[in-house]
Amino acid sequence: MDRTVRVLGVPMDLGADRRGVDMGPSAIRYGGLADQLEALGMACVDGGDLAVPRPEERDPDADQPSGGRAKFRRETGEVCQDVRTAVRATIDDGEFPLVLGGDHSIAIGTVAGAADPDESLGIVWFDAHGDFNTPQTTPSGNIHGMSLAAILGKGSFADEAWAHTPAVSEENVVLVGLRDVDDRERDLLNESDVTAYTMSDIDARSVPSVVEEALDIATDGTDAIHVSLDLDWLDPTEAPGVGTPVRGGVSYREAHVAMEYVAERREAIRSMELVEVNPILDDHNRTAELACELAASAFGKVVL
């Protein structure tokens, strides 16, 4: 990749139950992200952090959708619109946006900024969770568990201009590594045209087979793709510093192999984000440092 990478921090914790992910961007920077990318010969500039309201200063249940619940809905929409603007400006400047979370609700803004209205955008979503709940199905009200559904205009998100991204078609959206899905969320996924690979699929077929097929689906007929990497995709023994850990995730080497396959398609990738790093729950910044290593693999770092 010959584009300059612009790092954008979004210290967002409005979409999650646990505090701490707001410190994720700082932890990833401290973990050596710029050093990892510059060691690959890439130019890396830091665009700073976007402003995010403090949850203590806001009412999580204000401005709720009819028949549902989405905590901090208004504030999340405002932040995601700012993310969209920053990502779009980065792309218009000929640079690559690497967005650091923060919780996974920021993906709504990242995808909106990466998706040119006159083009089609595919998505590969590495995550333990489906993030496919709506305000009408969610058991928690946390928007980080609704972000992919919001992007695709599910439920009341269909009427939210800040959320729904029409340039993204379900047929070009792929979830990789699922192992924790709510009952009503499962129904929505099964009714959709989204492709979802569980950890059982990875166990049966291997990471290279699943990830290569996922990338084929995301790039089929699209102009570009977005890669979203939630660190809880990895097993908690490898990435303890996440807000919603789930046992049975991918290993250290499997995660790197997956990112190496992503690197082979990097000319098709328009944007990427690293989310859900929670340094409060981490062990000596292990998870943030791992996020930096995986980003380097996604940008082309190899052993030989």
Catalytic (active site) residue 129: yes
CB 265 within 8 A of CB 225: yes
SS3 110: helix
Q: Which of 160, 230, 235, 273 is catalytic?
A: 230
Active-site entry in 232, 238, 273, 289: 232
Is 164 marked active-site?
no
Q: Is 284 a catalytic residue?
A: no
Distance CA 56, CA 54 (A): 5
In terms of Cα–Cα distance, which of 82, 118, 80 is closest to 224?
Answer: 118
Our answer to whether residue 131 is catalytic in this structure is: yes
Query: Is 283 marked as binding a ligand?
Result: no
Is-catalytic flag, 220?
Answer: no
The verdict on whether 232 is a catalytic residue reads yes
119 three-class SS: coil
131 annotated as ligand-binding: yes
Q: Mark whether 226 is an active-site residue.
A: no
Q: Is 230 annotated as a binding residue?
A: yes
Question: Could you tell me the CA-to-CA distances from 148 to 30, 84, 124, 151, 185 in Å, in that order?
Answer: 29, 15, 11, 5, 11
Q: Choose, from 185, 276, 289, 293, the residue flagged as catalytic.
A: 276
Which residue among 13, 144, 185, 256 is the active-site one?
144
Q: Is 129 annotated as a binding residue?
A: yes
Looking at 131, 185, 238, 289, which residue is catalytic?
Answer: 131
From 75, 82, 103, 127, the catalytic residue: 127
d(CA 283, CA 272): 25
Bind-site residues? 104, 127, 129, 131, 230, 232
Active-site annotation, residues = 104, 127, 129, 131, 144, 230, 232, 276
Bind-site residues for Mn(2+)? 104, 127, 129, 131, 230, 232
